[in-house]
Structure 1
Amino acid sequence: MAQPPPYIELYESGELERRAARLEARLEECDICPRRCGANRLKNETGSCNAGKLVAVASVCAHHGEEPVLSGSRGSGTIFFGNCNMRCVYCQNHQISQDPDRQRSNQVSPSRLANRMLYLQNELNCHNINLVSPTHYIPQILQAIFEAVPQGLRLPLVYNTNAYDDVETLAELEGVISIYLPDLKYADSNLAARLSDVPHYVPTARAAIKEMYRQTGELELDEDDIAVSGLIIRHLILPNDLAGSEASVKWIAGELSRSVPISLMAQYTPRHRALEVPLLSRSINAAEYRRVINLLDVLGMENGWLQDDSSQDYYLPDFNREDHPFERG
């Protein structure tokens, strides 16, 4: 029988409730993410992430297109949160991340979010709860977990993030999150500021990922090869080496471990405002993809996943679909 996730023990000890209360108090002068914008979100002032007191839930579904250790046979129970603390000009989820007016109609309470988690577990029978772009809603998410546990929530939680996370905030998630899934986007903070409107991305994301690795360590799988704990790092290759892939991969190998799984993504295609940036106005080519794969081989980094040539079409969502953003009609 599978071990219950550690947040059950945190709930039973009262620690989960205390953490949720501490995080909620921080919303009064919001410092949840590295922007530390100071908005009073308890009074529904919107922060720099365009989020207020309630949670924008854009989509809830069983996602079969995540890494195999997450999707398995029954799918990863994915909750796509609206709004974001970054402003990537090429964001594939721009329909929900950068359209705050639309996301107001998707706002729910933590209690309703708890119900969505239980739906993924009990009705869709997913392997895990996959929280996509959760950074700006961490206090509400912990409250939802606190409410869902006595109703039977038992699935491991996946924290699926852009890695622009605050280490102090992440510390409150120790023992709550089983699997961290950060996307290491850049190796140059100046490019991050230009393309994603965030300062100091590189040291911030690297510090956050180190904290994630400290909490969960190496990836562990169950008898069915489904992830139960650990770190997986995603890296989206951008054209013209704008992502600084070589520097990022070498940092992972040198500062974390060569055994950390890397999910190497070839799915980039110009979306949102990418066509306004000439260096981003095309998909990556085979040579760019092969160069990063060869680097992984040279460094002896054998754990992880590669996307095939169809990824540019297959992995792009459409959140105008009411049922499932990744399933074509």
Structure 2
Amino acid sequence: MRGSNDGIWDWNVLTGEVYFSDRFKELLGYGPDGFENVYESFESRLHPDDLDQTKAAIEAHLNERVSYDVEYRLCCRNGDYRWFRARGLALWDDDGNATRMSGSISDVTERKRAEEDLLRRTEELERSNKDLEQFAWVASHDLKEPLRAVSNYVQLLERRYRDALDDEGRRFIGFAVDGAKRMRVLINDLLAFSRIGTRGKELAPVDSGKPLATAVKNLALTIRERGAEVEAEPLPRVWGDGIQLTQVFQNLIGNAIKFCERNPRIRVSAAKEGPMWRFSVQDNGIGMDPAHQKKVFEVFQRLHTRQKYEGTGIGLAVVRKIVERHGGRVRVDSSPGEGSTFSFTLRACE
């Protein structure tokens, strides 16, 4: 019993006498003669908030033979409370009356503290996410209004005074209109990124072929204009949010088309890896240096100038955030001039 590091107790229900092992008393900071071997020695040390539920658990075990496995706090010799897990089993006479109950206690203070710390951090994170979403909404609203005014007045200026402007003046107005348009897209992308963790649906079984089909449909015009081909193997059922998975496929396929100089060819497949499915989106695009492969999943990270490839630099960050919300991981394998394979994992739905 000593080797288990648990404290042992043996309670005579009829007399109220209790045997507390030396280890039991040691766990509370006492020596072998630290307190009396009676039930009151235990009950008097229970934390007030744990007293009623502990007594109820004991009564349920003695009278209804419900399993006794509880956690409570006991006051130690130094006045501090520590958490313990208690398990026990009673003996009953022929009339069904409990006569004796024996069991053990284990110190679980560190685990409880870790759980409480995790709960606190989770609550703080939830508050932070809500604050972030609220900030993003307010910021986007406050930014959109003046941006809309700037865009409208610049376009009005262009229409009314176009003939009075020289080529350079018209070019400057074009820069202003284009800048306002890019800012509007950026604000919308940032708002969408901030909402991924809070606006997603509860994960449910999803036929992953359906989000892919929706993504391809949404990209139909781009696919046709670029002469792209998208091939897909039969895809499995997974746990997911169908709308967010559509966004993942759409961003990855759109990215593959954008970064292919001619005749984009994209292949989508999936392979089982233990409890997960690994999805791959393979393309014949320009590829990238392996040194940049982690960087591309960060917000605002661009490997090329905006003049060559337009975009906000948020698309792959959205992919990463959605996949991580689903409990998966995303990566890219690529070499310059040899295309890229973006892969991500999702939990299998049997």
Whether TM exceeds 0.5 here: the answer is: no
**Which protein shows a greater Rg?**
2
What TM-score results when the alignment is normalised by the length of structure 2? 0.21
Greater strand content: 2
Report the TM-score when normalising by structure 1.
Answer: 0.22
Greater length-normalized contact order (CA 8 Å, ≥ 6 residues apart):
1
